Every structure is written in C-alpha cells, then in structure tokens.
Amino acid sequence: MGFLPLLRIRMSIALLRATALELAILAGHLLLYPSGIAPERHVPGRRAPEPAPVAASEDGASVLPAQGPPCPPAVLLHGFVDNRSVFVLLRRSLTRPGGRHVESLNYSPLTCDIRAAAELLGRHVEEICVRTGHQRVDIVGHSLGGLIARYYVQRLGGDRRVRTLVTLGTPHSGTGVAPLASAHPIVRQMRPGSAVIEELRQPAPGCRTRFVSFWSDLDQLMVPLETARLEHPDLIVRNVRVSGIGHLALPVHPTVATSIREELESTGAEAESSGAASVA
C-alpha cells in the first residue's frame, strides 16, 4: 500500500474517532445545558486577595514577597446557542492550581449582533474588575465567544482591561460552514467578508492584549480549518494547533485545558513573544 492511501486511511480513522468523541460530548453537554441557563451568582462585597506589598530592606533595596501577586480573574465566554455549562471542566482546571478567580458569562441566545454582545462583555469586565479589585482580566472564548471578546479588545478599547485572550475554535477570518444557518444575523456576521470580520482586519496599533488561538485540524465547523488561526500584523499572537479532536471537544479536553492554564500562567518575556505551537 502506498503512502497516500495509508495517509487517507489514518485520517479517516482519526476523523471517525473525533466524530464519535464529538457526539459523546454533545450528549453529555445536553444533560448539563439546563444547569447553565441561569447566570452565576456572586457574593456581594467579595474581593480577590490584594497583591502582597513590596517591602524595603535596611539598605533601601526592594524585597520581593515570597509569592507573586495572584493571577487576574479568568472570564469564560461560550459559543453560539450555548451557555456557561460548557466550561464545567475547564473552570475546575483553571481554579484548582492557585485559587484563581474564574467567572463564566452568559449572553442571550437571541443576541443578533457581535458588536452589541462585545459592549455587554465590556460592562461585565468593568464590573468584575471593580468587584475583585483587579485592573485586568484574562478571557477564554469558545467559537463565537472568542470573536465577541476579540471585537471588544480590538474595537472597543478592551485591551486596557484584557491581559490575555484565549480563543478556542474561533472563526477569525469567518467560516463558510452551514450556509442554511445564515438566516440568523449573528451567523451572517461570522461569514468571510462580513462587516464585522472586515473591521477586525483593520489596523490595531498598540494593542496591549496577548492573543492565544487554539485551532483543531479536525474542526468541521471551521471552513477552511485555518480560519481559526489568528493572523494580524498588529497583534501579539500565539497560534496553537490541536490534533485529533473536533470543535466541541476544545473547551472540555484535559490536554487543551492544561495548555490553556499554562498559557494564562506564563509571564514576562515568554508572554510577550509570538509564535506557533501544537498540542497532540
């Protein structure tokens, strides 16, 4: 058997496995979906711990605290016709290591405009900063959620508040999947060449947010697959290729969750560098 036929067989097997996993995740998510319809409840007056103060030694030199300041809050934003229940496993992964404050936001399934959703996200982020005492947040957006968050960062001045934006299977250049779904206005905005997609292509000089875009080589909702890669000359971007899983698996797969946590915990020069990576 030649190389190309063998490669096609392996790709077909991988696609079948990914499809089976997608169906299993969909079934589980349908069971969890009702639990995520209501918005999260927050304890009034609860604030995240303040960063440890920097002391001075007798010779006047600064003495760094034993532990660094806590990570900024992480905000999770779901995809089209979904809700916060999709992030049950990811939330647990992000919260566990150092007690990071994590919130999952819902936007209405009746939302018809990415711009309006981005403005609402901005108001939520401001409220979270006031409530937790942090100046900035990290955002993880799945699919449409990543596009909403990107619009907030690039077009509405959200880079002032967002340290890192992680997108999972987000159609940064628009997707051509499911033409019949274009009856919904927000689906039309996710098409290649839409007004929103063209706005996001415009220059964004001085953008302070770091972007990390996870894209899957078996994501059947991204047409073409590379549309989930973020390519923009003015943005600090790290594209991470994920192999062997589909669209629905991106926010629940443990390997992806570990990679997201590592990306959000990265600081210093590493956080300021751009590049590409892959996740098996």
Average pLDDT, the chain: 85
Question: 200: which residues sit within 8 A by CB, 6+ positions away?
Answer: 147, 150, 151, 154, 155, 172, 232
| Cα dihedral 185/190/193/196 (nearest 10) | 80
- Predicted TM-score (pTM) of the model is 0.85
The winner for highest mean pLDDT among 34-48, 61-75, 100-114, 147-161 is 147-161
Mean pLDDT in residue range 138-148: 98
Question: 119: which residues sit within 8 A by CB, 6+ positions away?
Answer: 152, 156
pLDDT at 97: 62
* 118 and 155 Cβ atoms separated by less than 8 Å: yes
pLDDT at 218 over 60: yes
* Whole-number Å distance between alpha carbons of 165 and 63: 32
Q: List the one residue out of 93, 82, 107, 102 whose CA is nearest residue 29.
A: 82
Confidence of residue 280 (pLDDT cuts 50, 70, 90): low
pLDDT at 130 over 90: yes
Q: Pick the more confident residue, 163 or 47.
A: 163
- In three-state form (DSSP H/G/I as H, E/B as E, the rest C), the secondary structure along 214-238 is EEECCCCCCCCHHHHCCCCCCCEEE
Confidence of residue 8 (pLDDT cuts 50, 70, 90): low
Q: What residue has token string 């979906």?
A: 33
pLDDT at 200: 98
Tokens of 262: 């590592």
Tokens of 6: 């063998």
Q: Residues 166-205: pLDDT tens digits?
A: 999 999 999 998 666 678 899 999 999 999 999 999 999 9
pLDDT at 47: 52
Percent of residues, the chain, with pLDDT higher than 90:
63
Question: 146: which residues sit within 8 A by CB, 6+ positions away?
Answer: 77, 165, 166, 167, 168, 169, 170, 172, 213
Mean pLDDT in residue range 134-139: 97
Percent of residues, the chain, with pLDDT higher than 70:
80
pLDDT at 31: 93
* Whole-number Å distance between alpha carbons of 148 and 121: 8
Mean pLDDT in residue range 18-28: 89
Tokens of 76: 């999770």
Q: Residues 55-101: pLDDT tens digits?
A: 444 444 444 444 445 789 999 999 998 999 999 999 999 997 667 89
* Whole-number Å distance between alpha carbons of 37 and 84: 7
pLDDT at 10 over 90: no
Confidence of residue 268 (pLDDT cuts 50, 70, 90): very low
pLDDT at 40: 86
**DSSP 8-state assignment for residue 274:** -
- Rounded alpha-carbon distances, angstroms, from residue 279 to 8, 70, 155, 176, 264: 21, 27, 30, 25, 16
* 106 and 88 Cβ atoms separated by less than 8 Å: no
Confidence of residue 155 (pLDDT cuts 50, 70, 90): very high
